[in-house]
Structure 1
Amino acid sequence: MEIPGLGVVTEDEHGSLVSAPVEVPVLGGAFRWHVDGYQDDPAPHEFHAAVKAFLALDGRALEAAAAGVFDYYRHMGEIFGDELDDFPRIAGPDQVWDHVTFGHEVTVTRGDEGDPVFVSVEAECEWEVEHGLQVVFREGARITKVGPYDGHLKNDEDVLYERF
């Protein structure tokens, strides 16, 4: 099977469609894509649109979310900053991405019926090694959730970081 923008995909043992690595400009590298729910979805064109939108993003998308990611960092600093000698010191949102390393996979899924298609990326971050960082792009175009990786695609409200 082929998905526009991703090329040929194969089904893995969990039922996800998996691509070969595809260059992702906004993340600065090549990533394997896991596409969930595509085969049975009544609107696969929405997956195509989300992939296309995500691949068209540049660094401005991450810059727009830096304040939300920095809020997540500060919250974890309130909890652990004084207890850990190696807790990073980040002066502001403009430096927060320097402390994040994206994994090598991108997930595309609709989530619940009636939801838009979301693109989700997991990353390691220096301030929360256990839960890392999850960045979710609604319809592949706009970051709508950042925070610890919990697998959820949206917050209860339209906020970039919601304390857990």
Structure 2
Amino acid sequence: MKIVRSKILGEVTQDARFDDWWNSKPIRIPLIGAELNVVFMDFEPEQDESFIEEADSALSNFLKLGDDYKNQISGLIYDHFRDFCSMVGEEDIPDEMKGIDKSEIWKFISPSQIIITRRPYNEPDIFINMTCECKWEKEHGLQLVFKKGKALTRVSDQDGHLTKADAYNIPDSEDELLAKFEE
């Protein structure tokens, strides 16, 4: 079993099933006030020597996000929930979620893990993907994606894409949240 070292996570161990996945022990995530495992995904140490350093930088940024930021992004997650509601029948909306406002949305989200990976298209930045279960979309869940760990740049179901631009094959400039990202 191979091990790599992260300044923030300590030992990160190669996954037994997938050679390019590396697992950490759980760490506390201030944004949600809970501990989650971190997975380096699509990482091959011999091929990407700067990955761990960039992942540590992104993780350092991400771990600075707390309650204030959580409140700032609640509206974006609520909007995602409302979009879901507009596409399904009234009977598919959980009763306890009918009539909620954005300040209540986090009650219906259960973060499950943190995935740190490099964007495979366009600019190869590091993104942090917090995958979540959510009350309103049990089949596809929810993903909250943070570019370089600094800012939320995607709210969607878990579709395997880090950006809306990649998911819909549109220019980054047409991806509203990604286009707003500032260093």
Note whether the superposition's TM-score is higher than 0.5: yes
Match of 2:162 among 140, 143, 153: 153
Q: Measure the CA separation in 2 of the matches of 1:48 and 1:128.
A: 31
Q: Which residue of 1 aligns with 2:37?
A: 32
Q: Distance in 2 between matches of 1:132 and 1:122?
A: 8
Distance 1:158 1:106, change over 3 A: same
Superposed CA offset, 1:8-42 (max 9, x none): 01100212111111111112111111112261224
Partner in structure 2 of residue 49 of structure 1: 57
Structure 1 gaps of 5+ residues are none
- Partner SS state of residue 91, structure 2: coil
Q: Check if 1:20 corresponds to 2:25.
A: yes
Note closer, same or farther for the CA distance 1:82–1:38 as it changes in structure 2 (3 Å cut): same
Work out the CA distance in 2 between the residues paired with 1:26 and 1:127: 21
User: Where in structure 2 are the equivalents of 1:15-164 lying within 5 Å?
Assistant: 15=19, 16-36=21-41, 37=43, 39=45, 40-44=47-51, 45-84=53-92, 86-87=94-95, 88-103=97-112, 105-112=113-120, 114-156=123-165, 157-159=175-177
Query: Considering only aligned residues, what root-mean-square deviation do their CA atoms show, in Å?
Result: 1.8
> Structure 2: which 5+ residue stretches go unaligned?
166-174, 179-183
Q: Structure 1 segments of 4 or more deviating over 6 A?
A: none
Query: Identity of aligned pairs, percent?
Result: 26
Relative distance call for 1:146 and 1:90 in structure 2 (3 A) is: farther
Structure holding more helix per residue: 2
Higher relative contact order (CA 8 A, sep 6+): 1
Q: 1:84 & 1:158 partners in 2: Cα distance? A: 28
CA change 1:147–1:82 in 2 (3 A) is same
Contact 2:131–2:144 under 8 Å retained in 1: yes
Aligned partner letter, 1:19: S
SS of 1:106's equivalent?
Answer: strand
Aligned in 2, Cα 1:86/1:92: closer, same or farther, shift over 3 Å?
closer
